[in-house]
Amino acid sequence: MSFDPLFVHGVHWPEVLIVVIRAVVAFAALMVAVMMMIWFERKIISDMQARVGPNRAGPFGLLQTLADGIKLFFKEDLIPDKSDRFVFKLAPYLSILPAIVAFAIVPVGGVMSVAGHRFDLQVADPPIGILLLLAMSSISVYGVMLAGWSSGSKYPLLGAVRASAQMISYEAAMGMSVIMVVLLAGTLSTRGIIDAQATTFFASWNLVRTGVVPFVIFLVAVTAETNRPPFDLVEADSELVGGFNTEYSSIRFALFYMAEFMSTITMSAVIVTLFLGGPDGPVPHVMVLDQLVPVAWFVGKTLLFLFAYVWFRAALPRLRYDQLMDLGWKVLIPLSLVWMLLVAGALIAGWWVVGLAGALVLGSVLLFRAIRVGKGRGGSSAFGDEIGAGRGRGPVGVASLPGRWTALSTAAAPATSLSGTGSPRGSSRAGGSGAGGSGAGGVER
Amino acid sequence: MSTVVTVVASIGPLAHLAGAGLLGVVSRVDFATFWACAVIVVVGAVGVVVSRNPVHAALMLVMTLFAVAVLFIEQHANFLAAVQVIVYAGAIVVLFLFVIMFLGVDRDEDVNQEPLRGQRILAPVLVVLGLAGVLVLGIGAHWAVGAPSVVGPARGQPGGDVAALGRAVFTVYLFPFEITAGLLVIAVVGAVVLARRPPTAGQDELSVGVPGDQVAGSDGGTAAGTAGEETPAGTDAHATDATGQPGPAGDVGVSPELAGSSEPQPVPQPEPHEVAP
């Protein structure tokens, strides 16, 4: 178990000062990073869409976010009459807090020594480490959920329900891919996790050591967790106006916006920590550079993922709600369970695991085949209409979605969103109301 | 009532811990943390009971759970604190909120209605009994588990409390742990089986399904019967849809935001989406 070398000699005023400075610097850096990230995203998106993008405020439009922020500060702060005023005001802060707190556990660099004090370049290294990330991501549901509820109108509530169901569903897959990393590292501490990956460049990263699958699962789950496209059903503009933040304006809206980008940055940093060795990389043995180059490695790897997120947004169409839930519950969770067995087996049994893997692959292929055959028996299977609706996936596609949502009764909308809660009650309702099941089937046939 | 017991159960051991902390060698930081969190715990617990609005009560519960998690950290039970936040604050209260928001109990309650007869007399008695039980268990833990604590002090153990707990759960207490896991799986499977519709059921939603559906359906009927009725000016009763007209469903049964669309209504309802562009 690794401890921050800062506290080896006990806690006195210099140590407290260093801790405070670390926290303030991390907070400021995160804020600036959010500003830059918004600009970065808008620029990249506009490049990909053959537009110019922001180019007025400052060089290359760099200050555009600042200008937007100032504008939002001076806009009128509207609170709807029907809202629950206290919760309405509380929700943006509940949304932004987890994103900030989760960043505290990310190791930004190696051990730094200033004036005789050696300390880790990370805000905190608690013994629970990565569990803090899971705790914070489960807390971040509250911001969205309460914002939607307290607004007191339909679309925000629907958006909030979708959001919370989505976030809860993908948390499971996310947690399980974290477990695999923890199994390999043997510790929950993020510092311990990057230390365990630091032996050789690339080959010792968890990306390779766990097999690429947990990395992919984590990437997808995190994208859903932060409500980024293509999983941004929370604010699906074409269906929900603005989603959970429809009723928000001025700086409260900006806080939600910032929270989204902040959690994107935090999660990218966490991916780097868990799977790409954090600040691990070739370092020149020169006085100051050996402390700064790891930070550069970390920032570079994080930028890679930030770019990937922007790319996702530009390239991928938004998933339909049932597709989203299918992906979470029927693909990611079983896959991560199976892979976790493999990783755990490999840890204790060595090459035996090859046989185990063979058996598992054979078994899952058979199971998959059986499910396909079962689906082929038609929509009136033992599971009711829902399977029939699932079959409509391919031909119905995204294109016919608006028609289905507006032309058919609106019963389809909540029914579909409820079916995603994964709760038995919700799914029974989605099948039972007939709109979700027969609606899709009707288009298909 | 169960909330009260839960809250009391979460406060109970703290009194014990407080005694240990104050008598032992603790720094001023620990002292300040303890009192700050203790105040938050008590305020949150009182708030859960006093709040008229169920959503506010749930938020108060979250506050209490958080403060308890901080107190766990103060007692070097780091893993317990993380699990407290992940499971209780992150999952269970979220489920509470789901239910509150969807079943439309998110309006202020009428306190004069008494669903359970004699609960006002019974409640303090049960609270006192529960508190006494928790205190007795806390003082004489040998009686309950045969040891003063399950894993011993986490401090000083190799790997800290996480490793100590892991060793305890997967060695000494392996069978209770696995049996509990099996029990949970059985509960989930049972819930799925109970909630699944019979395969022959057609489109008739109101005749089949879980009892909750029927209640909601009948409530929807009541709501439709009183359509156009002026809704009480509560903070959360929103019978006005996007068009600004009075909504079809009152504030009975399901949440008003969803009452017009999610539940099949016996009477055809004007759909808000028809006027939306």
Note the ipTM here: 0.73
Tokens 């294109």 appear where?
A: A399
- Asked if residue B118 has pLDDT above 60, the reply is yes
Measure CA A150 to chain center. 24
Contact status, residue B111 vs residue B50, Cβ threshold 8 Å: no
- Asked if residue B240 has pLDDT above 80, the reply is no
Question: If pLDDT is split at 50, 70 and 90, which confidence band does B154 have?
Answer: low
Work out the average pLDDT over A381-407. Answer: 44
pLDDT in the model for residue A435:
38
Nearest to B192 among A1, A157, A424 (CB): A424
- Asked if residue B7 has pLDDT above 80, the reply is no
How far does the CA of residue A176 sit from the closest CA of chain B (Å)?
14
Secondary structure of residue A120 in the 3-state scheme: strand
Work out the average pLDDT over A337-359. Answer: 78
How far does the CA of residue B181 sit from the closest CA of chain A (Å)?
15
Contact status, residue A377 vs residue B238, Cβ threshold 8 Å: no
Q: What is the rounded CA–CA span in Å between residue A291 and residue A124? A: 18
Rg (Cα) of chain A, in Å, rounded? 24
Instruction: Decide: residue B90, CB within 10 A, 0-12 exposed, 13-18 middle, 19+ buried.
Output: buried
- Asked if residue B17 has pLDDT above 50, the reply is no
Name the average pLDDT for chain A.
78
**Contact at CB, A153 and B242, closer than 8 angstroms:** yes
A126 neighbourhood in chain B, CB within 8 Å: 78
Cα distances from B239 to residues A148, A417, B208, B255, B276, in angstroms, run 16, 21, 28, 10, 17
* Stretch 166-225 of chain B: residues touching chain A, C-beta under 8 Å: 191-192, 194-197, 199, 201, 203, 205, 208-210, 212-213
**Contact at CB, B262 and A434, closer than 8 angstroms:** no
Rg (Cα) of chain B, in Å, rounded? 24
B241 and chain A: CB distance < 8 Å anywhere? yes
Query: Which alpha helices (DSSP H) does A74-109 contain, by range?
Result: 85-103
B161 neighbourhood in chain A, CB within 8 Å: 127
A442 neighbourhood in chain B, CB within 8 Å: none
Q: Which of A323, A332, A329 is nearest to A397 (CA)?
A: A323
- Asked if residue A339 has pLDDT above 60, the reply is yes
Name the average pLDDT for chain B.
66
pLDDT digits (tens, 9 = 90+) for A210-265: 888 899 999 999 998 888 888 887 776 666 777 788 888 888 888 888 888 999 99
**Contact at CB, B53 and A127, closer than 8 angstroms:** no
- Identify whether A230 is preceded by a cis peptide bond (ω within 30 of 0): yes
B181 neighbourhood in chain A, CB within 8 Å: none
Q: What is the rounded CA–CA span in Å between residue A376 and residue A371? A: 9
Residue of B nearest to A127 (CA): B78
Tell me which H or E stretch contains A119.
Answer: strand A117-120
Counted across chains A and B, CB pairs separated by less than 8 A come out at 161
Question: If pLDDT is split at 50, 70 and 90, which confidence band does A363 have?
Answer: confident
Name residue A120's beta-bridge partners. A111
Contact status, residue A251 vs residue A245, Cβ threshold 8 Å: no
Between residues A267 and A358, the one the model is more confident about: A267
Both tokens of A274, joined, read 């868990």
Phi/psi of residue A239, each to 5°?
-115, -35
Residue of B nearest to A438 (CA): B203
How far does the CA of residue B120 sit from the closest CA of chain A (Å)?
29
A90 neighbourhood in chain B, CB within 8 Å: 59
Which has the minimum average pLDDT: A190-194, A388-392, A438-442, B255-259? A438-442
* Max mean pLDDT range (B38-52, B87-101, B137-151): B38-52
- Asked if residue A205 has pLDDT above 80, the reply is yes
Phi/psi of residue A113, each to 5°?
-125, 125
Angle in degrees, CA B82, A99, A270, rounded to 5: 75
Nearest to A138 among B90, B260, B261 (CB): B90
Tell me which H or E stretch contains A113.
Answer: strand A111-114
Work out the average pLDDT over A156-169. Answer: 83
How far does the CA of residue A158 sit from the closest CA of chain B (Å)?
8
Nearest to A432 among B197, B242, B276 (CB): B197
pLDDT digits (tens, 9 = 90+) for A290-335: 788 888 889 999 999 999 999 998 888 888 888 888 888 888 898 8
- Asked if residue B155 has pLDDT above 60, the reply is no
Q: What is the rounded CA–CA span in Å between residue A162 and residue A277? A: 34
B273 and chain A: CB distance < 8 Å anywhere? yes
B101 neighbourhood in chain A, CB within 8 Å: 145, 149, 157, 161
Contact status, residue B72 vs residue B80, Cβ threshold 8 Å: yes
**Contact at CB, B162 and A154, closer than 8 angstroms:** no
Secondary structure of residue A32 in the 3-state scheme: helix
B97 and chain A: CB distance < 8 Å anywhere? yes
User: Which residue type sits at A297?
Assistant: W
- Asked if residue B266 has pLDDT above 60, the reply is no
Percent of chain B exceeding pLDDT 70 equals 50
pLDDT in the model for residue A219:
92
pLDDT digits (tens, 9 = 90+) for A79-110: 888 888 888 888 899 888 998 888 888 988 87
Phi/psi of residue B46, each to 5°?
-65, -40
pLDDT in the model for residue B31:
84
Work out the average pLDDT over A152-169. Answer: 83
Between residues A353 and A77, the one the model is more confident about: A77
* Stretch 59-88 of chain B: residues touching chain A, C-beta under 8 Å: 59, 62, 78-79, 81-83, 85-86
Contact status, residue A431 vs residue A385, Cβ threshold 8 Å: yes
Both tokens of B64, joined, read 């209490």
Both tokens of A362, joined, read 């054979």
Work out the average pLDDT over A376-383. Answer: 54
pLDDT in the model for residue A394:
43
Nearest to A139 among B90, B240, B258 (CB): B90
Q: Which domains does chain B have, with CATH numbers?
A: 10-109 (1.20.120.1200), 197-275 (no CATH)
pLDDT in the model for residue B24:
44
pLDDT in the model for residue A54:
86
In chain B, the N- to C-terminal Cα span, in Å, equals: 47
Long-range CB contact pairs, B203-209, < 8 A, 24+: B203/A432, B203/A434, B203/A438, B205/A429, B205/A432, B205/A433, B205/A434, B205/B264, B206/B264, B208/A432, B209/A428, B209/A429, B209/A432
Contact status, residue B101 vs residue B254, Cβ threshold 8 Å: no
**Contact at CB, A434 and B79, closer than 8 angstroms:** no
Both tokens of A303, joined, read 């930028």
Q: Which of B193, B273, B274 to mutate to test the interface with A (most CBs of A within 10 A)?
A: B273
**Contact at CB, B208 and A164, closer than 8 angstroms:** no
- Asked if residue B42 has pLDDT above 90, the reply is yes
B16 and chain A: CB distance < 8 Å anywhere? no
Which has the minimum average pLDDT: A59-73, A127-141, A300-314, A387-401? A387-401
Between residues B61 and A238, the one the model is more confident about: B61
A155 neighbourhood in chain B, CB within 8 Å: 242
Secondary structure of residue B249 in the 3-state scheme: coil
pLDDT in the model for residue B54:
84
Q: What is the rounded CA–CA span in Å between residue B222 and residue A418? A: 23
Residues near B32 by beta carbon (within 8 Å), at least 6 away in sequence: none
pLDDT digits (tens, 9 = 90+) for A19-53: 888 899 989 999 999 989 999 999 999 999 888 88
pLDDT in the model for residue B252:
41
- Asked if residue A439 has pLDDT above 60, the reply is no
pLDDT digits (tens, 9 = 90+) for A274-284: 998 888 888 88
Angle in degrees, CA A312, A313, A316, rounded to 5: 65
pLDDT in the model for residue B22:
42
Between residues B34 and A114, the one the model is more confident about: B34
A414 neighbourhood in chain B, CB within 8 Å: 258, 261-262
Tell me which H or E stretch contains A46.
Answer: helix A13-48
Nearest to B97 among A134, A145, A428 (CB): A145
Work out the average pLDDT over B161-188. Answer: 88
Nearest to A138 among B86, B163, B235 (CB): B86
How far does the CA of residue B115 sit from the closest CA of chain A (Å)?
25
Work out the average pLDDT over B230-239. Answer: 39
- Asked if residue A434 has pLDDT above 50, the reply is no
pLDDT in the model for residue A272:
92
pTM over 0.80: no
Residue of B nearest to A433 (CA): B205
pLDDT digits (tens, 9 = 90+) for B188-226: 999 988 888 776 655 544 443 334 443 343 343 333 333
What's the per-residue H, E or C state across A141-188?
HHHHHHHHHHHCCHHHHHHHHHHHHHHHHHHHHHHHHHHHHHHHHCCC
Instruction: Decide: residue A95, CB within 10 A, 0-12 exposed, 13-18 middle, 19+ buried.
Output: buried
**Contact at CB, A415 and B262, closer than 8 angstroms:** yes
